[in-house]
Amino acid sequence: MTCFMDETFIRKHNYLVFGLSKPISIEAIDGRMLSFGVVTKATVPIILQIGTHQEDLAFYLITSPRHPIILGLSWL
């Protein structure tokens, strides 16, 4: 799972979330640890469709008010 969703966006749209059994740290492409700390929650799979491409994706919850959804390699 490499996709992320802002916690406020998740609450606004009432997506179901669950706690991770083990918190994970997220690092940027350059190896820096990201400032929001560890991730402790994720969504259940959500159907995401862009154009004709559709997938069920789960998202890690982060604080990202400027970018409510961040698609990672799993989308590609």
Strand 46-50 with 33-43, pairing: unpaired
Contacts of 32 (CB under 8 A, 6+ apart): none
Question: Above pLDDT 70, what percent of the chain?
Answer: 96
Whether 1 has a pLDDT exceeding 70, the answer reads no
For residue 65, name the pLDDT band (cuts at 50, 70, 90).
confident
Q: Which amino acid is at 21?
A: S
| pLDDT tens, position by position, 5-32 | 999 999 999 999 999 999 988 877 787 7
| pLDDT tens, position by position, 34-51 | 766 789 999 999 998 889
Contacts of 46 (CB under 8 A, 6+ apart): 15, 56, 57, 58, 59
Whether 57 has a pLDDT exceeding 80, the answer reads yes
